Amino acid sequence: MKTVLEMKGIVKRFPGVVALDGVDFDLKEGEVHALLGENGAGKTTLMNILFGLYKADEGEIRYMGKRAHISSPHDALRMGIGMVQQHFTLVPSFTVAENVALGVKATESVRNIAKKIEEIADFYGLEVDPYAKVWQLSVGERQRVEIIKLLYLGARVVILDEPTAVLTPQETRSLFKAIEKMKGEGTGVIFISHKLNEVMEISDRVTVLKKGKVVGTLPRNELDERKLARMMVGREVVMKVEKSQPKPGEVVLSVEGVHALSDKGHKALNGIDLQVREGEILGIAGVAGNGQRELAEVIAGLREVESGKIYFLDEDITERSVLYRVLKGIAYIPQDRKGVALSPNLTVAENLFLKRKDRKVWFSYDEIFRMAENLIERYDIKTPSPAIPVKYLSGGNMQKVVIAREFELSPKLIIAVHPTRGLDVASMEYVYRSLIKARDEGAAVLLLAGELYEIFNLSDRVGVIYEGEIVGYTSPEPTPENIEKIGLMMAGVRI
């Protein structure tokens, strides 16, 4: 097959780090080439260069055999290179069709665009309503819009930066089908993911990056998951975490008959009841979109409760403010770290400092920086300095900032939503150990995660959420019978 794209000797330096140190990468027509590597390895940076968001310090890009100068996403798209970024870029107040229209010549009517969107959506199996406003869409739907937009613009190279990190298993299936279709059309796909099983399933070739250098590029048939994990971290990875028997104490959190609405005004929580005790991790399994996010938000105080009560250590906190709950010891690791958990433009130090209980007292910047340096060291946050805006950190390191900040509050209750999403295996182990440590020190942990292995690995008890209710509980034993039981409950069967 023809090589469409070659990147040679790419070097990119940021203040304090060499993000890419002479990287070679190429892509053939109709091929899926996966890019793998630990948090901060340089994957997003390499793709940002290809998409014209960053300029390489050294190296060259050849596209269709010719030297290419890509100095903006506009250039890239015109040539046929499109990227769905790790954090989306659609205009929330516009409709789907209007968002696509932004990239199309002005003479095309929105109605025509909407019609073509429907055709593309049909062909690739990427279901979406062209007239829906983007803010009303789920993340999975927004991602479909981003992909459709690229296909609409005729992209021959599609870059997907951790697309499945925000998808349900079903949405991942349909994305993979769309990728197969793209391959059939000769479109090359660059696929970034931390999920080794996905990489093994969908890719034709895999390139592993480590600290800005290529560890190797291999065809899939010469690889397996263990070998990939070894290439990535340079050591054998044990994903099974060790933990002692739980010693559950008093009830810390009690949710009683809570009803709440989703952003779209649909019923999201339907009289949900649950309790979490001191020293235990309650894992909630479920297909995404069954009220997990809303449950976390009502407990954190970010979403209104229609009816029902929330008790924290026997105190009714249903009507209490977010700040009140923070001060009482409720930590929240939300799903959307860039939008909710962090202030992207503030520095790493400021973000680490945001929730300090004693921040009423006057602190000098020097002190804030010293505290930040201490946390950066203890939580192994990779950043050139505490003084850079947090938005410049890699996805995994942003999550470490959130975790460092929340865990420093010595919380009595931790609500963790997809806490390892987008993290590499080493950081994932780290988060697991941190949650277990907090639990051993007496915290109650409510874990909402999409990945079953995460639920099995961490939880002391497992509840299953379906359409805003807990349909049943089970043990975290990963036996075939228990997995089947959870699967049935996730599909709404009460056992």
Ligand X SMILES: Nc1ncnc2c1ncn2[C@@H]1O[C@H](COP(=O)(O)OP(=O)(O)OP(=O)(O)O)[C@@H](O)[C@H]1O
CA 68 to chain centre: 32
Report the interhelical angle of 110-124 vs 169-184 (nearest 10°).
100
CA–CA separation, 70 and 78 (whole Å): 10
Strands 413-417 and 444-448: parallel
Q: Which entry of ligand X, Mg ion, none binds 37, CB below 5 to 8 A by partner kind?
A: ligand X
Whether the CB-CB separation of 182 and 84 falls below 8 Å is answered with no
**Nearer Cβ to Mg ion (4/41):** 41
Q: State in angstroms the smallest separation of the CB of 2 from Mg ion.
A: 28
Interface residue with ligand X, options 7, 33, 39, 420 (CB under 6 A): 39
Q: Give the C-alpha separation, 268 to 305, whole Å.
A: 11
What Cα–Cα distance (Å) separates residue 467 from each residue in 165, 265, 266?
Answer: 22, 14, 11
Two tokens, residue 357:
């209980």
- Angle between helix axes 425-440 and 225-233 (nearest 10 degrees) is 80
DSSP structure class, residue 122 = H
Residue 30 is a binding residue for ligand X (CB under 6 A): no
Residue 222 CB, nearest approach to ligand X (Å): 23
Q: Is 172 in the site for ligand X (CB under 6 A)?
A: no
- Minimum CB distance to ligand X smaller for 279 or for 422: 422
Asked if 95 is part of the footprint of ligand X (rule: CB under 6 A), the reply reads: no
Q: What is the smallest separation between the CB atom of 41 and Mg ion, expressed in angstroms?
A: 8
Shortest distance (Å) from residue 3 CB to Mg ion? 25
Residues between 343 and 382 that touch ligand X (CB under 6 A)? 382
Residue 476 interacting partner from ligand X, Mg ion, none (CB closer than 5 to 8 Å by kind): none
Cα 249 from Cα 413, distance rounded (Å): 13
Of the pair 396, 468, the CB lying nearest ligand X is at: 396
| Tokens at 140, concatenated | 């999975």
Please identify, among the stretches 71-79, 286-294, 389-397, 483-491, the one whose residues bind ligand X according to the rule CB under 6 A: 389-397
* Ordered alpha helix ranges (H), 338-394: 348-353, 365-378
Interface residues for ligand X in 249-268 (CB under 6 A)?
Answer: none
Write out the binding residues for ligand X, residues 68-87 only, by CB under 6 A.
none
- Residue (40 or 130) nearer to ligand X, CB: 40
Of the CA atoms within 13 Å of residue 335, those in its CB half-sphere come to 19
d(CA 470, CA 493) in angstroms, rounded, equals: 11
395 near ligand X, rule: CB under 6 A: yes
**What minimum distance in Å lies between the beta carbon of 82 and Mg ion?**
17
The nearest distance, CB 76 to ligand X, in angstroms, is: 17
36 DSSP β-pair partners: 208
Residue from 4, 25, 36, 44 in contact with ligand X (CB under 6 A): 44
Compute how many residues bind ligand X; rule: CB under 6 A. Answer: 17
- DSSP-derived secondary structure letter, 361: S
Instruction: Name the site residues for Mg ion (rule: CB under 5 A).
Output: 44, 395
Question: What is the binding site for ligand X (CB under 6 A)?
Answer: 14, 17, 19, 37, 39-45, 382, 392-396
